[in-house]
């Protein structure tokens, strides 16, 4: 049985994910500019570091958007299983970018601690409050879409927003301490920047793992395997399910199934049962792009 085009539900999820990534890219661009300018004029390196992280998020959102657009392409002669791998590959690139950014910002934060500088300006706190609220709202929205679609890339982009909210919260605390504590606590915002770098790095590692697992065709967890088995077993003529392999390609799933039937039936009847099994599985979950059914004679 040959591969089929992406189901409408899958295509719709990819399109929604692309729009979310594009919107996030615009928001990150606005916030990156505001934070960097606020940090420069407000003498707050933690805000500059936070702005640089947002600027990297712009690049990350662009990569995620491009990966989702490429993953939405239907199967063709050179990619019979579709282009879904573009999605976790995009997530891996973004995760590595996050880790590199965390290291670079941490090094610069240490330098700022060692070099005396003016304390931060109070107006920088207003910028951070707006960022925290908007980013947390974006995280909840994008993460819900990513979970519903089981999209590694969309969830990666969502956690970028949560990471930005956390680093901005750390910046808010650091700048507040520096303002309240006076000259003795002027480096508090730089220590907050180091904490922000730790948060950024932790998120990078957390985002990298599922993407690598997906590229390595790690068997998906959860109810998807049980769903496939139960759907196949419900088809008349199926005696037993022998083997069931499920792999994730982007936000689609591909199934390889060995089904045992009565060994005395004709090849044509076995062929009809195989088609019925495929329909039953795809009817249960629209994310299943294709099912390859192998018919075997049941043991006496």
The residue with tokens 């769903």 is 227
- CATH for 224-297, among 3.30.1600.10, 3.40.50.1820, 3.30.70.1350, 3.40.50.300? 3.30.70.1350
Residue among 161, 129, 128 nearest 142 (CA): 161
Q: What does the pLDDT read at residue 274?
A: 94
The residue with tokens 């920047």 is 193
The yes-or-no verdict on residue 137 having pLDDT over 80 is yes
The yes-or-no verdict on residue 1 having pLDDT over 50 is no
Tens digits of residue pLDDT in 168-222: 887 788 778 877 876 677 677 677 778 878 877 887 888 788 888 888 877 777 6
- Specify the CATH number of the domain 8-215: 1.20.1510.10
End-to-end Cα spacing for the chain: 28
Locate 117 and state its tokens.
Answer: 């500088």
Q: Do domains 8-215 and 224-297 have the same CATH topology?
A: no
Locate 104 and state its tokens.
Answer: 């670079």
The domain locations on the chain are 8-215, 224-297
The yes-or-no verdict on residue 21 having pLDDT over 70 is yes
Average pLDDT over residues 16-29: 79
Answer for the pair 31, 131: CB distance below 8 angstroms, yes or no.
yes
CA distance 146 to 92: 16
Instruction: Tell me how many degrees the CA angle 137-143-144 measures, rounded to the nearest 5.
Output: 95
List strands edge to edge, sheet with 288-297.
238-249, 252-261, 288-297
pTM over 0.85: no
Q: What does the pLDDT read at residue 255?
A: 92
């Amino acid at each position: 049985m040959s591969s089929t085009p992406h189901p409408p539900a899958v295509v719709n999820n990819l399109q929604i994910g692309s729009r979310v990534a594009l919107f996030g890219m615009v928001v990150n661009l606005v916030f990156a500019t505001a934070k960097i300018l606020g940090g420069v004029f407000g003498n707050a390196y933690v805000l500059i570091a936070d702005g640089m992280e947002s600027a990297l998020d712009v690049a990350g959102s662009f990569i995620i958007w491009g990966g989702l657009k490429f993953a939405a392409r239907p199967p063709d002669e050179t990619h019979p299983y579709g282009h879904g791998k573009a999605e976790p590959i995009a997530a891996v690139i973004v995760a590595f970018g996050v880790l590199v950014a965390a290291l670079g910002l941490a090094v610069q934060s240490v330098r700022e601690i060692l070099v005396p500088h003016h304390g931060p300006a109070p107006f920088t706190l207003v910028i951070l409050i707006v960022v925290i609220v908007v980013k947390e709202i974006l995280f909840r929205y994008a993460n819900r879409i990513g979970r519903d679609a089981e999209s590694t890339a969309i969830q990666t982009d969502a956690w970028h927003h949560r990471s930005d909210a956390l680093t901005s919260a750390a910046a808010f605390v650091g700048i507040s301490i520096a303002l309240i504590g006076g000259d003795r606590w002027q480096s508090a915002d730089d220590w907050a920047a180091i904490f922000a770098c730790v948060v950024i790095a932790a998120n990078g590692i957390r985002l990298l793992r599922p993407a690598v697992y997906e590229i390595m065709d790690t068997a998906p967890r959860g109810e998807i395997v049980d769903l496939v088995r139960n759907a196949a077993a419900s088809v008349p003529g199926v005696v037993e399910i022998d083997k069931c392999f499920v792999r994730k390609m982007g936000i689609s799933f591909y199934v390889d199934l060995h089904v045992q039937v009565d060994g005395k039936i004709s090849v044509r009847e076995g062929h009809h049962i195989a088609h019925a099994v495929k329909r039953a599985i795809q009817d249960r979950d629209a994310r299943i792009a294709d099912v390859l059914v192998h018919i075997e004679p049941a043991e006496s």
